Chain A
Amino acid sequence: MNDKLTACLERVRKPARYTGGEYNSIIKDKSNIDVRFAFCFPDIYEIGMSHLGSKILYGLLNSMDGVWCERVYAPYTDMEEQMRQRKLGLYALESKDEVKDFDILGFTLQFELNYTGVLNMLDLAGIPFRSADRTSLSPIVMAGGPCVYNVEPMADFFDLIVIGEGEEVMPELVNLYRKAKKVGWSKQEFLKNAAAIGGVYVPSFYDVEYKDDGTVKSVTAANGAPKTVKKRVVADFDKSYYPDRFIVPSTEIVFDRAMVELFRGCRRGCRFCQAGYTYRPIRAKSAETLKKQAEALIENTGWDEVSLTSLSSSDYPELNDLCTSLVAEFEPRHINLALPSLRADTFDINLVENVQKVRKSGLTFAPEAGTQRLRDVINKNLREEDLLNACKVAFESGYNSVKLYFMIGLPTETDEDILGISKMVKDVIYTFRQYGKNKARGVRVSVGVSTFIPKAQTPFQWAAQTEREEVLRKQRLLMDSLKIKNVTYSLHNFDSGFIEAVLARGDRKLSAVLEKVWEKGSRLDGWDECYSLDRWMQAFEECGIDPAFYANRVPEKDEILPWDHIFSGVTKSYLWSEYQNGLSGRATPDCKAGCRGCGALSLTGGGKCDV
């Protein structure tokens, strides 16, 4: 380790975030490597190391001969200060080599408030921000992740962007790069060939024109790039690559455990949920495969917990059998099973008790809205009876705390809907008083309330975010009605939600704002202590951009949306019809009741969803 890094590490909190050397991290012999890939996560280590997609791609890329994939995370503010003071460039954890000398930098964009983190990492690495300012073949700066369904505010910074799942397209891209390097292609030649790979979006090949009112006039593809870039998915998810070992961190991270992925996609179709639309079609792994993968991970990591992840775990067809056999295998070895993302309407107390034999955790449900009317608008097909019934059986069996998640600022929301939240909370407390096993202990209800953010490629992409004053009024209304014993609540900071909304439906004009706000000091905007709305508002003003145009405007039906040239699989007409159903309060049955023809099956060439 060099002296500069040692000097930094001595002066920062939690230095183990910056050292690498964790068990299962991969060190390769540089003399046998022709592609060096820096997997960049624009948030701090604890967050990045918890991310499943990174683990999959890290294992996959390192399984390729001649390719070495290393990890890079955003330094926290104290480390950044030390690095800048000591002129230590951004380095990768495995080799500690500087990122600027790598062949490819791959950023994952998990949510919009990480965008300034990308710029800051590029700056720390000494790499120019804009794709146009990087003319040589190396480094290529690319991106992937859930934000790609509208990545336009970041489009000018990346050379290419992967739309969809990386398991197949990443090896194709890396091999193409290898060829480019060998043959001596220019960057432009490489990008032209890359654009021919399914799921690869080369933003510089798309010319965007705007109307006088600021909306998109046209998007024109050049250099043979497809008119719309279609999302890549893995057709046979059961057989797709999955690592048999994860890096075991030597310091605490957010999700410090093994994970297996039950299925991708979600059959519920909640109209606000971007993942619910963009991860379609639904593809499940077999229980057999999952058992093998969980067993291998536990063997190779020594973790004492396995989490069964998905967007809605109780919808996994073989959940009971899978849990029973995993518990039988793991319980005697003191290995816990975690089952997040359960729904109240299919809540099975026997399953939960079975799963939580090793360690009991709390229960969490997400009704999202306080009245049936509003739950129909957002298509959260959950009835209050279902929630209360789930609470009843849980309380009867000894649980005495429950977490409830809601959103405010949803389309068509009235004060009645807001007060419905506190009514629901009171009903939960009443249920405990009736059925609680140990009434003397009392009940604890924690209520988490976030603000609705309209996201691209969902039915609510046409909805406006509620304006600040109105959200604050609704928050106060809710707080006043929630001053109840046994209830704690936490409100999501609206100010960062506003910027998230601007970027979520933003266009390429915002790249100048991103540069400006970074200059003013924005980095880890996802962290309250680092975030400043004032900084953002100044940047908007200096760039002559009205943020309300993006956050609070309702686009027209026929308007070209900035992300229309990216195709998630679900057609715009389907999204529109779902939006209309929402506005008129009509719920849509989930996909198990019959295929609704959203379009996503076109990505896998037909067949049917695993519902």
Chain B
Amino acid sequence: MFKMRILFEKKDDAAYISHLDLMKVLQRSFCRAKLPVKYSEGFNPHICMSILSPLSTGYRSKYELCDLELVSDGMPEEAEDRLNRVLPDGIRVLKAYPSAEGLAVAKIAYSAFNIELEGGNAEDALRIFEGDVFFEKRSKRGSKQVNMKDYIKSLSFSGTENGMLCECVLAAGDDPLNPSYVVGILREKGIVDANSVVRYTRTAVLDCDAKLFS
């Protein structure tokens, strides 16, 4: 048995594939690529795989990780090419490699995002996040009042042709901050229009030392 890790990107149309659907999309791609996938035991066997740190529907990503269990002893030949030939538009494997041992997933601490915004002034936007920003954070366990500062590792704004680009590194892992909260604050404070177009792209997943997690 062998565990392979796949680094892939997800853009354009594919950004709108939800997490559960993406699992299916990948599973079918593995079958088309004829990878020696491992099936679980039991009544309803399924392909043993997981997507690390899944994103909200609609988010683009240049840095998606998936672990896949194989029945082979090592890396399948040309895994990247075989997958890229059979993936739907917008999903592309950048690299496939042996997965690190142990509870590596627990080491994921941050996600880096680019948020493209329509309208807004970069200086005004940045000023909002200079001090404390209290907000209601919702999760499966209910909602709580928290300070956004505690969830932001870094955050910057720069002007673009039709608005702003926000580059930020936000908490991931157990208690993550969805970048839509950042946009929510900008909308609430009137920096950007409630009806404006927003594009989220994850650019990296980082460990607790803010090093690239791979």
CB distance from B29 to the nearest CB of A (A): 6
Q: Mark A294-332, 1 if CB is under 8 A from B, else 0.
A: 000001111110000000000000000000000000000
- CB-defined contacts of A15 to chain B, threshold 8 Å: 16, 57-58
Indicate if B21 sits at the interface (CB-CB under 8 A): yes
CB-based nearest B residue for A96 = B13
CB distance from B110 to the nearest CB of A (A): 24
Indicate if B198 sits at the interface (CB-CB under 8 A): yes
Indicate if B52 sits at the interface (CB-CB under 8 A): no
Q: Mark A240-272, 1 if CB is under 8 A from B, else 0.
A: 000000001011100000000000000000000
CB distance from A305 to the nearest CB of B (A): 11
Given contacts A21-B88, A22-B88, contact A16 B32 (CB under 8 A): no
User: Within B1-52, which residues are at the interface with A (CB < 8 Å)?
Assistant: 12-14, 16-18, 21-22, 24-25, 27-32, 39, 43-45
Instruction: Give bound CA distance, A252 to B21, whole Å.
Output: 7
Instruction: Give bound CA distance, A334 to B39, whole Å.
Output: 8
Indicate if A23 sits at the interface (CB-CB under 8 A): yes
A23 B87 Cβ-Cβ under 8 A: yes
Indicate if A95 sits at the interface (CB-CB under 8 A): no
Indicate if B189 sits at the interface (CB-CB under 8 A): no
CB distance from B174 to the nearest CB of A (A): 27
Indicate if B75 sits at the interface (CB-CB under 8 A): no
Contact of B18 among A10, A22, A251 (CB under 8 A): A251
Contact of A301 among B32, B39, B89, B198 (CB under 8 A): B32
The tally of residues in A whose CB lies under 8 Å from a CB in B reads 30
Instruction: Give bound CA distance, A536 to B14, whole Å.
Output: 40
Instruction: Give bound CA distance, A18 to B17, whole Å.
Output: 11
B17 A16 Cβ-Cβ under 8 A: yes
CB distance from A469 to the nearest CB of B (A): 45
Indicate if B138 sits at the interface (CB-CB under 8 A): no
A7 B197 Cβ-Cβ under 8 A: yes
B197 A3 Cβ-Cβ under 8 A: yes
CB distance from A316 to the nearest CB of B (A): 27
A302 B32 Cβ-Cβ under 8 A: yes
Q: Mark B105-119, 1 if CB is under 8 A from A, else 0.
A: 000000000000010
A251 B29 Cβ-Cβ under 8 A: no
B88 A9 Cβ-Cβ under 8 A: no
CB-based nearest B residue for A335 = B31
Instruction: Give bound CA distance, A3 to B119, whole Å.
Output: 13
Contact of A6 among B14, B21, B197 (CB under 8 A): B197
User: Within A1-27, which residues are at the interface with B (CB < 8 Å)?
Assistant: 1, 3, 6-7, 9-10, 14-16, 18-23, 25
Contact of A302 among B39, B86, B197 (CB under 8 A): B86
B16 A304 Cβ-Cβ under 8 A: no
Given contacts A22-B88, A304-B28, 13 further A-B contacts (CB under 8 A): A1-B12, A15-B57, A15-B58, A21-B13, A23-B25, A25-B89, A248-B88, A250-B17, A299-B32, A302-B31, A302-B32, A304-B31, A334-B45
Closest 8 CB pairs of A and B: A21-B13, A302-B28, A302-B31, A21-B89, A19-B13, A302-B32, A15-B16, A23-B88
Report A's interface with B, CB cutoff 8 A: 1, 3, 6-7, 9-10, 14-16, 18-23, 25, 248, 250-252, 299-304, 334, 358-360
21 contacts between A and B (CB under 8 A): A3-B197, A15-B57, A15-B58, A16-B16, A19-B16, A20-B13, A20-B89, A21-B14, A21-B88, A23-B86, A23-B88, A248-B28, A250-B88, A300-B32, A301-B28, A302-B27, A302-B28, A302-B29, A302-B31, A302-B32, A304-B31
